[in-house]
């Protein structure tokens, strides 16, 4: 991966608006848990700061495990600029009418708050079940866990066998709104699933959700800037390069599966 100094690319922006801060259950210095304690997190949401203790899977550019690091450690730009890379996944869930479930990330999120994105985006953890790699079973277990956590889609509705693992992408991006502090640098497993599900959002994770057709998504993305909608960079990259082609083949995705290539997107 090219060594891109994201700290130079993303200048420190103004402090988030008072209205945004008041919407969150912010954490005081005395509440910050051991292992993540510093001033960076002082005004962040209590629950989201606790999640910063989770241990992600550190990898090299070939997606080989090399260790673990806290979610906070993995998402600091100062570490990303040193080449730190972790494993992640992006779920694209479609209903039986072929519409894609989008979510808008909560204002409480530390990274990419208020951004619209695909159904669910997160990380497998450095735990036994989610470290297993055969047929991406650990990643699929993590996806099942996070669909339940974020959207209330229970494991009874979606089994690990329902996920179709298509391929992997690698990308790097700074936070938005820009803050010069946080970012992403991941190898991202792309998981597709088509099922009708009941959604009950966790409002600390998800602000809103909607189902869209291909035409509706194209229009939504085309007008996002003028309407002030933030879109996560990984969702834009995947949409620009792959999504519509895959979407058109929901009934026969096997021909699109590529488990050998890691596509570097920028």
Catalytic residues: 121, 186
What does the alpha-carbon distance between residue 22 and residue 212 come to, in Å, rounded to a whole number?
31
DSSP per-residue codes, the chain: -----HHHHS---PPPPHHHHHTS-BPPGGGSPTTS-SGGGTTSBHHHHHHTT-EEEEE-TT--EEEEEEHHHHHBHHHHTTT--EEEEEEEEE-TTS-EEEEEE-TT-SSSTT-EESSEEE--BSSHHHH--GGGHHHHHHHHHHHHHHH---TTTS-GGG-EEEEEEEEEEE-SS--SSBEEEEEEEEEEEE--------TTTEEEEEEE-HHHHHHHHHTHHHHT--B-HHHHHHIIIIIHHHHTTTT-GGGG--SS-EEE--
Question: Cα(87)–Cα(101) distance, rounded to whole angstroms?
Answer: 23
């Amino acid at each position: 991966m090219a060594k891109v100094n994201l700290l130079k690319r993303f200048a420190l922006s103004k402090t988030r608006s008072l209205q945004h801060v008041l919407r969150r259950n912010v954490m005081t210095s005395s509440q910050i848990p051991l292992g993540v304690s510093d001033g960076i997190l002082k005004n962040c949401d209590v629950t989201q700061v606790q999640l910063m203790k989770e241990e992600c899977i550190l990898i090299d550019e070939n997606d080989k495990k090399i260790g673990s690091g806290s979610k906070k450690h993995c998402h600091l730009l100062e570490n990303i600029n040193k080449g730190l890379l972790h494993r992640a996944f992006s779920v694209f869930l479609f209903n039986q009418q072929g519409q894609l479930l989008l979510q808008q990330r909560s204002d409480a999120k530390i990274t990419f708050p208020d951004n619209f994105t695909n159904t669910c985006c997160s990380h497998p953890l450095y735990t036994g079940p989610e470290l297993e790699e055969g047929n991406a079973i650990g990643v699929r277990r993590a996806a099942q866990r996070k669909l339940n956590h974020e959207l209330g889609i229970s494991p009874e509705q979606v089994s690990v066998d329902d996920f179709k693992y298509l391929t992997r992408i690698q990308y790097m991006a700074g936070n938005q709104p820009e803050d010069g502090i946080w970012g992403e640098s991941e190898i991202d497993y792309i998981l597709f699933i088509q099922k009708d599900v009941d959604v009950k959002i966790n409002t600390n994770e998800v602000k809103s959700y909607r189902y869209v057709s291909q035409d509706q998504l194209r229009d939504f993305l085309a007008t996002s800037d003028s309407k002030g909608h933030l879109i996560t960079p990984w969702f834009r990259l995947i949409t620009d390069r792959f999504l519509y082609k895959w979407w058109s083949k929901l009934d026969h995705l096997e021909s699109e599966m590529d488990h050998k290539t890691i596509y570097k997107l920028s």
